[in-house]
């Protein structure tokens, strides 16, 4: 019988004693390589898709005014509502608060409509608007309860802000205000301290990841002067002792239809931003012209951890969700290469919320891509193959000896 007595490289031990150790080494090397490769690939995918760590977007849009002569405040909010929907935030993640006393007002020349431009090319009210807090429901108490999650047990889901520590929230407010206060329907006020404390409660209760706060009112910038919670980016229409002005009136409607700060914000978003936009909040802030707005727009960035030139507009105005990589559920097949393919479907695990409808897994089409299939299964099959090969060599050595 044919025997192998020595290794070619000069070892003194016979092959039969070397092969078992070699087999074990090969198996462990393959397992470690597979794990390292999978971990490295997971990190690559995470860094490729993630510019922010948030996984969901919400918007809270509030008009604190009522009565016909405040038409522009309702159209301010409805303009923002249309924009965030266009950029991907679903109605289920938009809380809309307004008096809703304009569209069906007896003085409305165009019943059932609301416009923010004198050419009346776009009806903001339309057929699909979903108002969550209407009329006298728009109160300081309801607003703070909404933010902090302290709503009554029988409050329907549509009136709840079901956010978590991975949620980016866009909060927009408009109405009549002054130095560190904003009026709610000429009946009560919310102060800058109230708002700051509400955001702090949200942070302590892990109800947000990042907040973009925007406000259009007189002396608007004083409303974010008392903020002290982390990860809040703020902007307002006017400095202390400055008024916030309307942009233009519609002679047929008879009142101003939009405010200047909101008009130029919406104009920038409409002209330049879609769901795939790479424009940043710095681009938006840089677009503001004091001569056009007739007041001094302000910004506050000291509480925000990221440079605003790295913060995409769609991080707040859109719903571009990041990949949540899961070793059990999410596997990436790179088709033999380490380069991402041009199309992909990504399976995302939504964060748990109170409503069961939101806790299921969803498939999201993404502009970049790799088909999510069992790459880990291929690695496992490779381990099995090496193990079988090593076992075969060991058996041959035993028979030979």
**List 54, 73, 218, 247, catalytic entry:** 218
For residue 128, the model assigns a pLDDT of 83
Positions in the chain whose pLDDT score sits under 50? 1-12, 44-50, 330-374, 376-377
Q: How confident is the model over 170-197, as pLDDT tens digits?
A: 999 999 999 999 999 989 999 999 999 9
Instruction: Give the other-Cβ count within 10 Å of 246's Cβ.
Output: 18
Q: Does residue 218 have an active-site annotation?
A: yes
Give 299-312 as a DSSP string.
Answer: EE-TT-SS-GGG-B
Please list, in sequence order, all residues whose beta carbon lies within 8 angstroms of the beta carbon of residue 394, skipping any fewer than 6 positions away. 19, 20, 23
Give me 26's structure tokens: 């090969």
Tens of pLDDT, residue by residue over 364-384, are: 333 333 333 445 445 555 656
**Separation of CA 95 from chain center:** 15
> How far, CA to CA in Å, does 102 sit from each of 72, 282, 291?
10, 34, 30
CA dist., res. 67 & res. 142, Å (int): 20
- Spell out a b/e string for 292-302, using b for 16 or more CB atoms within 10 Å of the CB, else e: ebbbebbbbbe
In angstroms, rounded to a whole number, what is the distance separating the alpha carbons of residues 198 and 123? 34
Q: Please answer whether residues 217 and 176 qualify as being in contact, where contact means their C-beta atoms are separated by less than 8 angstroms.
A: yes
339: left (phi over 0), alpha (psi -120 to 50) or beta: beta
Do residues 376 and 331 lie in contact, with contact meaning Cβ atoms separated by under 8 Å?
yes
Measured in degrees and rounded to the nearest 5, phi and psi for residue 43 equal: -65, -40
Question: Domains along the chain?
Answer: 15-50+323-378 (no CATH), 56-317 (3.40.50.1460)
Burial class (CB in 10 A: 0-12, 13-18, 19+), 309: exposed
Q: State the Cα–Cα distance between residues 304 and 84, nearest whole angstrom.
A: 22
CB 132 within 8 A of CB 159: yes
Selected catalytic residue, list 54, 176, 209, 247: 176
Question: Do the strands 332-333 and 361-366 form a parallel or antiparallel pair, or are they unpaired?
Answer: unpaired
- Three-state DSSP at 111 gives coil
DSSP H helices, 58-120, are: 71-86
Q: Longest C-alpha distance within the chain, in Å? A: 108
């Amino acid at each position: 019988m044919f025997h192998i007595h020595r290794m070619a490289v000069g070892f003194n031990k016979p092959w039969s004693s070397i092969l078992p150790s070699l087999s074990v080494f090969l198996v462990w090397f393959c397992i470690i390589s597979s794990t390292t490769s999978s971990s490295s690939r997971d990190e690559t995918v995470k860094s490729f898709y993630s510019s922010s760590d948030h996984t969901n977007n919400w918007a809270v849009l509030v008009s604190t005014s009522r009565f016909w002569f405040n038409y522009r405040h309702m159209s301010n909010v409805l303009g923002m509502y249309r924009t965030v929907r266009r950029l991907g935030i679903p109605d289920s993640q938009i809380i809309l608060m307004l008096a809703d006393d304009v569209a069906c007002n007896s003085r409305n020349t165009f019943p059932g409509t609301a416009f923010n431009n004198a050419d009346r090319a776009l009806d903001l009210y339309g057929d699909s608007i979903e108002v969550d807090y209407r009329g006298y429901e728009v109160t300081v108490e309801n607003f703070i309860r909404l933010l902090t999650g302290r709503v009554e047990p029988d409050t329907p889901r549509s009136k709840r802000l079901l956010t978590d520590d991975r949620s980016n929230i866009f909060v927009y407010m408009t109405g009549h205000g002054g130095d560190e206060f904003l009026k709610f329907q000429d009946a009560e006020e919310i102060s800058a301290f109230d708002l700051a404390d509400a955001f702090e409660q949200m942070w302590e209760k892990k109800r947000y990841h990042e907040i973009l706060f925007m406000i259009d009112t007189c002396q608007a910038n004083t409303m974010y002067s008392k903020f002290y919670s982390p990860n809040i980016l703020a902007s307002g229409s006017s400095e202390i002792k400055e008024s916030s002005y309307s942009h233009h009136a519609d002679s047929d409607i008879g009142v101003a239809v939009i405010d200047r700060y909101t008009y130029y914000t919406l104009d920038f978003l409409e002209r330049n931003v879609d769901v795939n936009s790479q424009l940043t909040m710095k681009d938006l802030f840089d677009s503001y012209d004091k001569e056009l707005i007739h007041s001094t727009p302000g910004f506050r960035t000291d509480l925000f951890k990221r440079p605003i030139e790295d913060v995409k507009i769609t991080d707040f105005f859109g719903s571009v969700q990041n990949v949540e990589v899961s070793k059990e559920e999410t596997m990436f097949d790179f088709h033999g290469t380490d380069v991402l393919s041009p199309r992909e479907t990504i399976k995302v695990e939504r964060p748990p919320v109170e409503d069961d409808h939101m806790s299921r897994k969803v498939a999201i089409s993404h502009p970049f891509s790799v088909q999510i299939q069992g790459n880990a299964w291929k690695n496992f099959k490779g381990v099995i193959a090496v193990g079988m090969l090593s076992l075969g060599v060991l058996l041959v050595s035993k028979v030979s000896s």
